Amino acid sequence: MGNCLTANTHGSRALKDLLKELEAGTLSKSAMMRKIEDAAESQNIIDRNLRSAISLLERFKRISVEQHEERPSTFTMRGEIENVLVAFTNTLKQLPDLTINVQGDENLEVRSYAGIIWQILTNLLQNALKHGLPGGEGIIDIIYRVQREEGTDYLVIIFEDDGVGMPREVRDRMFEPFFTTNREGGGTGLGMNIVYNLIKQLDGTLHCVSNPDMGTRFVMKIPLISNGDANGQ
């Protein structure tokens, strides 16, 4: 939307200049063509950006509908992590210098929202590959366990990469919608905002520790649904 505003300002200015010069009678044909082309290009930019904003909103809508419809189920955490990794098979095959370690009880079963956890891990893995380890070289650790605190069982997931990390000004804004350091590369800046909202929806918490050249670590704590829970049907 920011790009639309800039393009709109630019286009309006080109048209205003055009009018001014027309009135003053100082306009050459080539200058007129240039101004018209300028305005047309601004229109194109606005058109492209509005289309991408519409498709983003569609994606948002779809995510909230999917969340709404998802019922909790009992699944193994290891299986869900493997489902995420399988979706990245082609990418990972091309990264021989990348190691992904998964640590946790292979048989650990949890009752929660598998689809939501899949989305969270998918976004984190995409980011670790794109931002943390852009050269494809490094280590990603995914550690999980269940931890009991004050009578509630939490699924704890630690997701970390030993990549480039983030300076403070990026880390502080990472969860804002549309914040991205990769606008030219087509980043929407919605990935971490979606992760944050999904974890909040599950009444969980998310913390990030990251420093330049010291990698990035996310710690998530998601309360599990017990079998006797009214929502846990």
Ligand X SMILES: Nc1ncnc2c1ncn2[C@@H]1O[C@H](COP(=O)(O)OP(=O)(O)OP(=O)(O)O)[C@@H](O)[C@H]1O
**Sites of contact with ligand X (CB under 6 A):** 127-128, 130-132, 161, 163-164, 166, 170, 174, 179-182, 187-193, 216
Give 21 or 175: the residue with its C-beta nearer to Mg ion.
175
- Distance in angstroms (rounded) separating the CA atoms of residues 217 and 156: 13
Q: Which residues in the chain belong to E strands, given as ranges?
A: 73-76, 98-103, 109-112, 138-149, 152-161, 205-210, 216-223
List all residues 6 or more positions away from 37 whose beta carbon is below 8 Å from its beta carbon: none
Give 138 or 191: the residue with its C-beta nearer to Mg ion.
191
| Nearest distance from C-beta of residue 179 to Mg ion, angstroms | 10
Residue showing tokens 């709109």:
8
List all residues 6 or more positions away from 177 whose beta carbon is below 8 Å from its beta carbon: 189, 190, 193
HEC per residue, 6-37: HHHHHHHHHHHHHHHHHHHCCCCHHHHHHHHH
Buried b (16+ CB within 10 A) or exposed e, 20-42: eeeeeeebeeeeeeebeebbeeb
Q: Which residue is nearest to Mg ion (CB)?
A: 191
160 binds, among ligand X, Mg ion, none (CB under 5 to 8 A by kind): none
| Nearest distance from C-beta of residue 4 to Mg ion, angstroms | 22
Give 187 or 232: the residue with its C-beta nearer to ligand X.
187
Give 35 or 131: the residue with its C-beta nearer to ligand X.
131
131 binds, among ligand X, Mg ion, none (CB under 5 to 8 A by kind): ligand X
- Distance in angstroms (rounded) separating the CA atoms of residues 18 and 41: 15
| Residue 163 in the binding site for Mg ion (CB under 5 A) | no
Residue showing tokens 């630690």:
158
- Distance in angstroms (rounded) separating the CA atoms of residues 114 and 102: 17
16 binds, among Mg ion, ligand X, none (CB under 5 to 8 A by kind): none
* Binding string, residues 109-138; x marks residues near Mg ion by CB under 5 A: ------------------x-----------
Give 64 or 182: the residue with its C-beta nearer to ligand X.
182
| Nearest distance from C-beta of residue 134 to ligand X, angstroms | 9
163 binds, among ligand X, Mg ion, none (CB under 5 to 8 A by kind): ligand X
| Residues numbered 168-207 forming contacts with Mg ion, rule: CB under 5 A | 191
Give 119 or 127: the residue with its C-beta nearer to Mg ion.
127
138 binds, among ligand X, Mg ion, none (CB under 5 to 8 A by kind): none
Phi, psi of 106 (to 5 degrees): -60, -25
**Binding stretches for Mg ion (CB under 5 A):** 127, 191
